[in-house]
Structure 1
Amino acid sequence: MADPEERRRAEEFLRQDLFRRNAFLLIDKMLELLTQASPDVTALVDEILHTIFFLGRIHRPRVTPESIVGNILNDLMDVFPRPFVLYSSELPRRSPFSCVLDMIVHVTGRENETQIIRAVRELISDPELSQSQDLVSSIICVSHRTDVKDPVKYYGVSMSAAGPMSRKIMIAASCLGSWDEYVAGAVMTYFPTKKKNQNFDGTFQLPESVRCQAFDLREDTDKPPCKSCQNLFGLTSRELTEWVYGNCAEVESLSNLFKEEADVKERARPRSTKYSDEGRVKVERLVKTDVTNWLRLHEFIWHNTTFYTPQ
């Protein structure tokens, strides 16, 4: 029988290797897509580098940028120097696969829903990526108005991280630094315990004139809303599964919709007597304290609670 310590080291090496491989494949794909894109989306590559390096920094065992990018290290540092410096002090605003999705939407055209979903499915069906869920999303969601002709479509993917703790950290970061205030408020009503906050209720009812449809990227099927999405957004659901709040693709998709469609956002304004902007700010402070403490467990000091701004 293998020595327990040897087995632990072998398991840690395997986790490290899976993370490193997925990280490199996603970076390589982003560089490939960049050749098909306009120059104004270079920031997406800058952003995914920082986010992946950050997740490597808090990964157990730790994974360094050098071990991820290998022989393209110098080329990347020449073009994108900031991620290599700031990954150990500034928090990313969202998870890495969201950057991949944005790049695919840019290259494909956001009106081409079928092609976008197909392109993401083809990417995650790569035999090497499919061996591990590290950094890879499994669900995509499309949201848009149904009361106008040729509506703009807004996409989102499920949270992509590398383990339960990094997922919690990225959900907190997205609540504080990325998602629309109403969507973030809804998530923070239940985050991180799955128990509803007794003093604050930011949940809301999505207007009937909005389509919010998720798809399973691995099974090639529609994905009905889970219990969590029903609780957050009033989506009709028969599912009993209650995922970690903030994990689902619906969250990012609706956030992107609300950021651009002010009238839809206003119709979805939280109606609970326990909702107020001041209450949301208080909950944000609690989440900020939580994520700061979680980061300390990984010996990561969040300097001045600063979020990374890609360039």
Structure 2
Amino acid sequence: MAADRKKRQMPLGLLKIREFNKENLKTCGLHLIGHVMEEFKKEQNKLKTYVNEILHSIFFFGVIHKDCLTPVDFLNEQTEIVQQAFPEPFDKYRSHLPKRTPFSILLDIMQLTFGTKENIMRELCSLMEKLKFPYPLDRPANKNQRYYTLESTVICVCSNSQCTSQEYFGASLGCRTENAKSIMIYSSCLNTWHEYVSYAVMSFQHQTEGESLQFHKSMQCQAYIRDWNDNVYKERQPCMNCTRLFSLPEGTEQEHYPYGNCAETECLSKLLLKDQFMQENTEIRNYTTDKMNMFKDRTKKLLQGKLASIPSLSNRNNNDLLWFNP
């Protein structure tokens, strides 16, 4: 009898966790939107594109959440005001894929506002404390605690030491559900990251032995994780996946993350996209156009399969993938 009672109590407990996680995401989304809207009032010309993009990204992750959150769930009585100012994210969050996560877009805003790595990390810690985002749980074994806080656990900064003035920032995906994480990795491989980074990530996904990138020796790359006790970013070694992907110094374990999840992926992609010298002096094993097309075809099919499994999306049975370009 006791065992039967315990079984009957489990659904209620899971329901409470699910409701808690849903409210968590709604609160984080509202607070982040509130922050970028305040920043937009100060720098309208500079930030309009970023605000459009971050709204769409938040709405997209809301609608693919198992509770299918809508913009109204995030904004409540502010919905009409925000929609009048930024109609495009409201029109396209069910049909178009985001190119980046909300935190990745926030990093760009922080860089535009504060400039240097030291200033960005200091102000980012201050902002996270102000927004009161909950601890971004990082326990893969506990499926009940996989949820979005919209904060990426790790950020990464890279540069070309021959051109030390330019730094490139990236964020880990910050997704707490396998569906969302896979969608963002597949989507980024097809439409966001530099082709070398996409090729490397896809090669490790689709074949036994992946094709690593070998950057020029002038490439510098350092990841940071926010220490919640001290509220500061501290250096973090790359994981083994990034060590294999990008020929980085010896990394730590943490192989439960898929290839492409880490912050190194985004910042190194930006470096290749923006730095001509690094493009011309980065090597990738066995790269061919035919293999690239094969990887893309396989990745597109995987992405379409993930989208087709989400009833709330309006383009889930569409062979033509659409991306949001604010």
When normalised by structure 1's length, the TM-score is 0.90
Contact 1:33 1:103 in 2 (8 A): no
Offset of residue 212 of structure 1: 0.5
Query: 211-220 or 169-178: which moved more?
Result: 211-220
Deviation at 1:278? 2.3
Are 2:284 and 1:280 equivalent residues in the alignment? no
Q: Which runs of 4+ in 1 moved over 4 A?
A: none
Q: Tell me, which stretches of 5 or more residues in structure 1 are unaligned?
A: none
Give me the whole-angstrom Cα distance separating, in 2, the residues matched to 1:3 and 1:117.
44
Residue 205 (structure 1) aligned with residue 217 (structure 2)? no
Secondary structure of the corresponding residue to residue 170 of structure 2: strand
Deviation for aligned residue 1:31: 1.4
- Aligned-residue offset at 1:249: 0.8
For the Cα contact (< 8 Å) 1:94–1:173, is it kept in 2? no
Q: CA deviation at 1:126?
A: 4.1
Higher deviation after alignment, 3-12 or 67-76: 3-12
Match of 2:175 among 142, 161, 167: 161
* Ranges in structure 2 where 5+ consecutive residues have no aligned partner: 1-5, 138-147
Q: Deviations over 1:203-251 (max 9, x none)?
A: 2112211111111123531011110111000001141222321111111
1:27-42 map, 5 Å: 27-37=33-43, 39-42=45-48
Q: Secondary structure at the match of 2:119?
A: helix
**1:248 match:** 262
Structure 2 CA distance, aligned partners of 1:225 and 1:6?
Answer: 40
Provide the residue aligned with 2:308 in structure 1. 296
Please name the residue that 1:232 is paired with. 245
Partner of 1:145: 160
User: How much has 1:141 moved relative to structure 2?
Assistant: 0.9
2:31 counterpart residue number: 25
**1:129 to partner: Cα distance:** 0.3
Match of 1:98 in 2: 104
Give distance in 2, aligned partners of 1:186 and 1:77: 39
Deviation at 1:201, TM superposition (A): 4.3
8 Å contact kept, 2:204–2:211? no
- Percentage of matched positions with identical amino acids: 27
Query: What residue is the counterpart of 1:221 in the other structure?
Result: 234
Give the TM-score normalised by structure 2.
0.86
Instruction: For residue 158 of structure 2, give the secondary structure of its aligned residue in structure 1.
Output: strand
How far residue 255 of structure 1 moved from its aligned partner, in angstroms, is: 0.9
Aligned 8 A contact 2:136 2:153 in 1: no
Q: Secondary structure at the match of 1:208?
A: coil
Post-superposition shift, 1:308? 1.0
Aligned to 2:53: 47
Q: 1:182, 1:238 → 2: CA distance?
A: 21
1:119 maps to 123
Report if the CA contact (8 A) 1:49-1:83 is conserved: yes
Q: Secondary structure at the match of 1:59?
A: coil
Question: How many residues in Structure 1 have an aligned counterpart in Structure 2?
Answer: 300
